């Protein structure tokens, strides 16, 4: 990867559902599913799903900051998750499905904390925003079959996403704002 690129790491529950929203953004070079924040070296999907490794399912986003700002990635992140749920996301429960923003620089930390504060002050959610802003830890790529799952297994991905409750939540809390953001930033719309 080029020195001009930056890396963002975010956990938003099931990593299958977190790849596509970033993958479609201009300036995003690569999105990898993986594991971070745990205590077991080289965890497997079984370790993480079994809630024994302490890791979050997360995505690592390599992006060109000349084309897309980290603030846009943060906005895309908040639109995908329930930031008030510290027990997992939607139908995926347990510590490995918690949300978090893992900063890779002090500038990212400041932007993430400011973004979280704005969301909290917006009044959009009655319950407190519990998504933590944490220092980045070792990121382990998930197994190959998890990478770009929405493209490799589109029917299974769509079925899983449909029953998860994620889309209903997005519609309820974000409504047209979600679609306006995605239309504005999608590579397909550029």
Structural contact between residues 140 and 35, judged by C-beta atoms closer than 8 angstroms:
yes
Structural contact between residues 137 and 36, judged by C-beta atoms closer than 8 angstroms:
yes
Span 6-184: which CATH code?
A: 3.30.1060.10
Domains in the chain: boundaries: 6-184
For 41-78, how does the pLDDT look when each residue is reduced to its tens digit (9 = 90+)?
999 999 999 999 999 999 999 999 999 999 999 999 99
State yes or no: is 14 an active-site residue.
yes
For 96-154, how does the pLDDT look when each residue is reduced to its tens digit (9 = 90+)?
999 999 999 999 999 999 999 999 999 999 999 999 999 999 999 999 999 999 999 99
Least confident of 19-33, 44-58, 171-185: 171-185
Instruction: Say how far apart CA 116 and CA 110 lie, in whole Å.
Output: 10
> 9, 10, 11, 14: which is the annotated catalytic residue?
14
Enter the pTM of the model: 0.94
89 forms beta bridges with 92
Distance of CA 155 to the CA centre of its chain: 21
How far is it between the farthest Cα atoms of the chain?
43
Structural contact between residues 67 and 77, judged by C-beta atoms closer than 8 angstroms:
no
């Amino acid at each position: 990867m080029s020195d001009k690129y930056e890396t963002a790491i975010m956990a938003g529950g099931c990593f299958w559902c977190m790849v596509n929203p970033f993958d479609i953004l201009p300036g995003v070079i690569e999105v990898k599913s993986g594991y971070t924040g745990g205590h077991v070296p080289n965890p497997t999907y079984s370790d993480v799903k079994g809630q024994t490794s302490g890791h979050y399912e997360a995505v690592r986003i390599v992006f060109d900051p000349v084309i897309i700002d980290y603030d846009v990635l943060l906005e895309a992140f908040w639109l995908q998750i329930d930031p008030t749920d510290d027990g997992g996301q939607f139908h995926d429960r347990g510590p490995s499905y918690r949300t978090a923003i893992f900063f890779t620089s002090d500038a990212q930390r400041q932007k993430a904390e400011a973004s979280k504060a704005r969301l909290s002050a917006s009044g959009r959610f009655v319950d407190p925003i519990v998504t933590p802003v944490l220092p980045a830890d070792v990121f382990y790529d998930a197994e190959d079959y998890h990478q770009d799952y929405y493209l490799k297994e589109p029917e299974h991905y769509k079925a899983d996403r449909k029953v998860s409750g994620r889309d209903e939540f997005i519609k309820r809390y974000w409504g047209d704002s979600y679609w306006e953001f995605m239309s504005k930033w999608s590579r397909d719309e550029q």
